[in-house]
Structure 1
Amino acid sequence: MARSLKATQSALDDQIDPARIRKRWKQHDERWAEAAGISLKTLQRFWDREPIRRANFIAICQAIDIEDWKMIADLSARASSDSSHQSLSLSIPERLVVPQEIKLKTEKNIDFTNLVDLLATNRWKIANYETKRLLLQTVGEVGEEAGFTYELLEQISCTDLSTVDQLWLKYSKGHFGFSIQKLLYDEVGQSCSRLGDQVGWRKNGEWLICLDDLFYSLNAPTGHLPFLVWGSYLDALLFRFESCEPLLLAERLQPEK
């Protein structure tokens, strides 16, 4: 089942717009966002016809009394996207282009120096913590108590997320990184639990939420690191990566022979 959806233009014009007018709501109305349990940014993406999480899409429709969300969704577009994902066959690491030269681009004035040093010296455990700290910093969260929420995951800087991913790919020689996790996620039908089973984040059906239980070695399963969130938060993180990286991810894949 599709994990992200977008509306058709005709549905926005013929069904969504009249329904929100009956509520006397504006397109980007805080009352609408509150009723749906989403952020205003997500509501704006809905109106811009950008893919959003399926649960959020349904909540937006239900908040204006539209129960048949499938009449609103552009299912043909998602089917096309799913078809392209299915073409990714199993030898994922071999198909990724591992970057050799990386420009440390940042939108949020992030200093990647420490992360580069940790990865270059194979200090994977500390690098995992540093990765989480830096990405939290891109959304304004600092300190020992800082943590991700769904809304914060949607706001991670795409530029900084890309830089972090390239660094993990480079220094692990294509063994670790968000790019690999996203490709594996697609291979297992976009199921975070199946992904967790495949890359070693779950044991006996339970998430290894204690970071000390992970494997900080290149002998770990492909895609095992970095590990920042689990469960449905992992869905949100990988969706953010997907929304940020469609072109760059395509550039990192070798054409199939």
Structure 2
Amino acid sequence: MADSVRASTRGLEIVEQARQRKGWNKYADIWYQAAHTSQATLKRFWGAKEPIQKDTFIKICEAVGLTNWQDIVEHSQIPITEPDTDFVGREERSPNLIIWLKVVQRLLSSKVKVA
């Protein structure tokens, strides 16, 4: 789930401090209602075992007064990958593609008359 995130252990500690400042319990009605979500989702947020939708995660953080949700999220779950730019035949095909594009460009420019 690319648009799903979960809280880190340190993130939950930050949320816990913010929650205590508000005087809310972990599953307060006012909290999940302010975040426009359900109590079940708030419980999943606290469990941090299964991810929740990113936009809901952000709303839960904002409802308790935390604006930087990136400090709360578990970063290790976000895969960092490099694009795969190597494919079979790339070296041989690139020069041919350039030649073909130039031929097409010449053909098109000879057919198009500018008024």
- TM (normalized to structure 2)? 0.65
What percent of counterpart residues are identical? 37
* Counterpart amino acid of residue 4 in structure 1: S
Q: Which residue of 2 aligns with 1:9?
A: 9
Structure 1: which 5+ runs fail to align?
Answer: 84-257
Q: Relative CO higher for 1 or 2, CA cutoff 8 Å, sep ≥ 6?
A: 2
Note if 1:21 corresponds to 2:20.
yes
RMSD of aligned alpha carbons: 1.3
Structure 1 residue 76 displacement after superposition: 1.7
What stretches of structure 1 move > 6 A for 4+ residues in a row?
none
Q: Which runs of 5+ in 2 are unaligned?
A: 82-115
The whole-number CA distance in structure 2 between the counterparts of 1:37 and 1:47 is: 16
What is the CA–CA distance in structure 1 between the aligned matches of 2:74 and 2:45, rounded to whole Å? 12
CA distance in 2, matches of 1:40, 1:79: 29
1:20 and 1:48 map into 2 onto residues whose CA distance is: 15
Over alpha carbons, which structure has the higher Rg?
2
Counterpart residue number, 2:40: 41
Deviation of 1:78 after TM superposition, in Å, equals 2.7
**What is the CA distance between 1:57 and its match in structure 2?**
0.3
| Matched residue count | 79
Deviations 1:126-161 (A, max 9, x none): xxxxxxxxxxxxxxxxxxxxxxxxxxxxxxxxxxxx
CA distance in 2, matches of 1:63, 1:79: 28
